[in-house]
A and B are shown apart, each in its own frame.
Chain A
Amino acid sequence: MYGARSMSLCTKLVRVNELGWKQQASPTVHTSSLSSAAFTHRRCSVSSVMSTNGSVPSLPPQISRRLERFKTTIFTEMSILAVKHQAINLGQGFPNFDGPDFIKEAAIEAIKQGNNQYARGFGIPQLNAAIAERFYKDTGLLVDPEREVTVTSGCTEAIAASMIGLVNPGDEVILFAPFYDSYLATLSMVDATIKTVTLRPPDFAVPEKELREAFSSKTRAIMVNTPHNPTGKVFSLQELQLIASLCKQHDSLAFTDEVYHRLTFGAEHISLASLDGMYERTVTLNSLGKTFSLTGWKIGWAVAPPNLTWGVRQAHAFLTFATATPFQWAAVSALKAPDSFYKDLIADYSSKKDILVEGLKEVGFKVFEPKGTYFVMADHTPFGFASDVEFCKFLIEEVGVAAIPPSVFYTDPDDGKHLVRFAFCKDEDTLRQAVDRMKVKLKGKVVARTH
């Protein structure tokens, strides 16, 4: 009869030292209570894994510890509130309009033609080739589609695969705060130690001293998202050169999330991989969704030298195994879009940006005009709220507009509490309506805190 395996968190098993992933090493004997009684009944009362106050939630015993730091996403909460109050949703980071017909038709054709079975795990050859071709046009770098391109279920999976495939427990990874929330979650899943460097208004410029201090001999990688969500910053050449020199100095990798690379306004998007000495240590991540307004198709990719690609592919093979075949075929068509498509895209998003940014300024926000992405950050303190969450709740409930409180994107929430993130990936009518609501209910009002 086997001993009891104590399952509650308060009598947790002593965490064994890293077994080094050598399977079947003789298991370390725990120091938990090993009675001869039958196994403890494992289930505890239902407690949500999702706690919003940032404290360690009490996890049901079957749940792995890697979820200890997970919180419910702020997006879900705000969306629910927005629906409840029928607020105009400028919180969600995806378009309320659809992708181009020619790409949808390509997907339909693929389905009709019977391209509905497993694609090759790392991508259909035609898509790998199209990605390599596009990468060459965009960066000047020549890559082997068969050995240096991996297709994944969205950029989210490319990020997860890169981290799982290339980051060891205890490795240090540098993030720029504010950061897209899944970076933190994925890094905590691989047990990395996270070092953050905070970008601050008005320019969200990279603080050189802080960055230098963040690097150490333990730095495995730095994550760079450019153009940057949520600030709308586009990393400059000088900033990327600084990052590059530190990567080389410390022999670190770089993971770059470039999903918004075609959405820049008067700023040039530069791929870190194109800098001297960087291609060999960079995984460049991208996707179809943002550029082509097809975020639900889940087509993403990673471009990296063969040794890094190998790690990404190893993980990818066991995360999702293969990517949706008909949409890969459609992506081939998408990536062949002519330059005029991208010009129109920028023109379109520029006018959307102008409607929102000018509108927000008029209402009384201090706006940090974005150079890229379809997000804009603004300072809401003129309206008298102590925190971004309070402001956003008010904005939904009293003004009828939903936005995202960005404090959740910082390691120290205080760094973000005076800010709010709006998205302008919406049709122009929607944006105008949202601005109008804010002009009516918010402009010129300094609202005292009610508690």
Chain B
Amino acid sequence: MDATCNRLPRASASFLARRVSSFRASSIALWSRLAQNGYAINLAHGFPDFPAPEHIKQAAISAILEDYNQYRHVQAACDEVAKHFSETQGVQIDPTNITLCCGQSEAFAASIMAVVDVGDEVLLLDPCYETYEACIALAGGCPVYVRMKPPYWTIDMNMLEASISSRSKAIVVNSPHNPTGKVFSMQELTDIAELCVKYDLLAITDEVYEHITYGNAKHISLASLPGMVDRTVITSSLSKTFSVTGWRLGWAIAPPEIAPAVSNIHVKISDSAPAPFQEAAVIALRSSNDYFVSLRKEYEERRDFVLHMLRAVGFEAYFKPEGSMFVFVELPVSSTKDDVEYATELIEKAGVAIVPGHGFFHNNKRESENFNRFCIDGMGKDTHEYTRRYVRIAFCKSKSTLFSAARAWQSYPL
């Protein structure tokens, strides 16, 4: 910057702080908005279009009526989070190490900012949710991606270990996983835990889909593994479990040395989570086991329906999601389109919005190694690299929405 007083005003782009200037708009939000603009059926965005449970809405309403509307820290909500975690994961947590945040989004941002310094590396298992990278960048850290291998999204532990460097600070573990629907197995978590202990890494988990698992898959928190509770920050929220994604009520559970830091950052970002919803969280987390059983059942039916529909329109769908509310499928071999072309045509012709998958795949610029696989069709011709061949479908929608989507999709020739 020069010192003259009569220089020209800055160009728009240079106003942005460097740390945000490379961010792209959320592709999920983009496709969701395209859906809304064109009145397409929205299977893009991961929010339910069915109502939140009555008893939880009532709890929020009562809180508002009883004047719980000023800044508040509701300790009872922290107590319930601790109790719930202990019941589901068998790990005792001191409620004072819990920070209530504006959604898991904020809990994750605060956790990252609390522990990541400029230049610290954070390992991410790819494909992964688009915002982790941005939070890490905001903190000045470097994301290091380790690709899980399609079609079953297996983790090559040697590759993971080889990606750890002297700069590695933490690993992010999202299970049940967005976008693939993978639920990390005990073996995988054990292996990850061993690496964390061996290389003195922290773990930051995103467990928002913790209650949405299918069949025999059970959600296991990395924090419950040996040596991990003291080096794991767990983030989760009410959003997906209780279908209240718009309430912004999440939390971070951190080890005692880190918890005050997470809380400090959270307070500077947003001061407190919405007070009435903190109160509602107390009630929500006390929901009976029946609620969670029925939640899983409802989602499993939807998953099965969507898989059936996808197969009917030509997808192979090798990997059956074990959790979360998403199906992540590779385009059929017969289709020569890439994910964006396919998704675009699907909106235009069938009026169904899904998310092209390439935004979930990331490359490490500092390494040339990438697990690329080329599909060769019957003519011996290369088709697109697989990262441009996946699409994500959200099935957290009412049955009538899913039926309409299936009907419309079937009418669209592949």
CB pair B17–A320 under 8 Å, yes or no, is no
Chain A positions within 8 Å of B25 at CB level: 317
Q: Dominant SS at the A interface?
A: loop
Does B186 sit at the interface, judged by CB under 8 A? no
Question: How many B residues face the partner with a CB closer than 8 A?
Answer: 101
CB pair B257–A160 under 8 Å, yes or no, is no
Q: Which residue of B lies closest to A155 (CB)?
A: B271
Does A137 sit at the interface, judged by CB under 8 A? no
Chain B positions within 8 Å of A65 at CB level: 117
0/1 interface trace, chain B 58-99, chain A, CB 8 Å (1 if under)? 001100110111111000000000000000000000000000
User: In B19-48, which residues have CB < 8 Å from any A CB?
Assistant: 19-23, 25-26, 29, 33, 45, 47-48
Does B364 sit at the interface, judged by CB under 8 A? yes
Chain A positions within 8 Å of B23 at CB level: 314, 317-318
Does A451 sit at the interface, judged by CB under 8 A? no
Assuming the A-B contacts A21-B22, A42-B200, A317-B23, are A111 and B61 also in contact, with contact meaning beta carbons closer than 8 angstroms in the complex?
yes
Q: Which residue of A lies closest to B46 (CB)?
A: A118
Q: Which residue of B lies closest to A317 (CB)?
A: B26
CB pair A70–B109 under 8 Å, yes or no, is no
Q: Which residue of B lies closest to A3 (CB)?
A: B166
Assuming the A-B contacts A21-B137, A156-B270, are A62 and B257 also in contact, with contact meaning beta carbons closer than 8 angstroms in the complex?
yes
Chain A positions within 8 Å of B274 at CB level: 153, 296-298, 324, 327
CB pair A23–B9 under 8 Å, yes or no, is no
User: In B109-133, which residues have CB < 8 Å from any A CB?
Assistant: 109, 113-121, 131
Assuming the A-B contacts A164-B19, A251-B10, are A294 and B269 also in contact, with contact meaning beta carbons closer than 8 angstroms in the complex?
no
Docked pose: A107 CA to B265 CA in angstroms? 28
Q: How far is the CB of B115 from chain A (nearest CB, A)?
A: 5
Q: Which residue of B lies closest to A166 (CB)?
A: B17
Which stretch of B241-249, B339-347, B383-391 is in the interface? Answer: B241-249
CB pair A114–B51 under 8 Å, yes or no, is yes
Does B381 sit at the interface, judged by CB under 8 A? no
Assuming the A-B contacts A108-B65, A153-B270, A249-B5, are A321 and B365 also in contact, with contact meaning beta carbons closer than 8 angstroms in the complex?
no
Which stretch of B138-146, B177-185, B215-223, B313-321 is in the interface? Answer: B138-146
Partner pick for B268 among A25, A49, A95, A156, CB 8 A cutoff: A156
CB pair A296–B272 under 8 Å, yes or no, is yes
Partner pick for A325 among B12, B199, B246, CB 8 A cutoff: B246
Docked pose: A447 CA to B298 CA in angstroms? 70
Which of B121, B131, B138 gathers most chain A CB within 10 Å?
A: B138
Does B307 sit at the interface, judged by CB under 8 A? no
CB pair B17–A311 under 8 Å, yes or no, is yes
CB pair B272–A118 under 8 Å, yes or no, is no
Docked pose: A66 CA to B114 CA in angstroms? 8
User: In A313-354, which residues have CB < 8 Å from any B CB?
Assistant: 314-315, 317-327
CB pair B103–A321 under 8 Å, yes or no, is yes
Which of B18, B70, B114, B137 gathers most chain A CB within 10 Å?
A: B70
Q: Which residue of A lies closest to B144 (CB)?
A: A24
Chain A positions within 8 Å of B166 at CB level: 2-3, 5, 30, 34
Partner pick for B65 among A23, A104, A114, CB 8 A cutoff: A104
Interface size class, chain A: 35 or more
CB pair A296–B137 under 8 Å, yes or no, is no
Q: How far is the CB of A172 from chain B (nearest CB, A)?
A: 11
Q: How far is the CB of B107 from chain A (nearest CB, A)?
A: 10
Assuming the A-B contacts A19-B118, A21-B140, A324-B246, are A121 and B64 also in contact, with contact meaning beta carbons closer than 8 angstroms in the complex?
no
Q: How far is the CB of A161 from chain B (nearest CB, A)?
A: 9
Does B290 sit at the interface, judged by CB under 8 A? no
Chain A positions within 8 Å of B48 at CB level: 117
Docked pose: A118 CA to B12 CA in angstroms? 30
Docked pose: A47 CA to B261 CA in angstroms? 11
Assuming the A-B contacts A43-B230, A121-B29, are A115 and B257 also in contact, with contact meaning beta carbons closer than 8 angstroms in the complex?
no
Partner pick for B16 among A47, A60, A314, A317, CB 8 A cutoff: A314
Partner pick for A297 among B20, B65, B69, B246, CB 8 A cutoff: B69
CB pair A296–B275 under 8 Å, yes or no, is yes
**What are 6 A-B interface contacts by the 8 Å CB criterion?**
A114-B52, A120-B33, A157-B269, A186-B268, A296-B272, A297-B274
Given A21-B140, A307-B12, A324-B246, 15 more pairs with CB closer than 8 A:
A21-B19, A23-B142, A46-B257, A62-B202, A64-B113, A98-B69, A111-B60, A116-B247, A117-B47, A117-B49, A120-B29, A182-B267, A250-B5, A298-B272, A310-B12
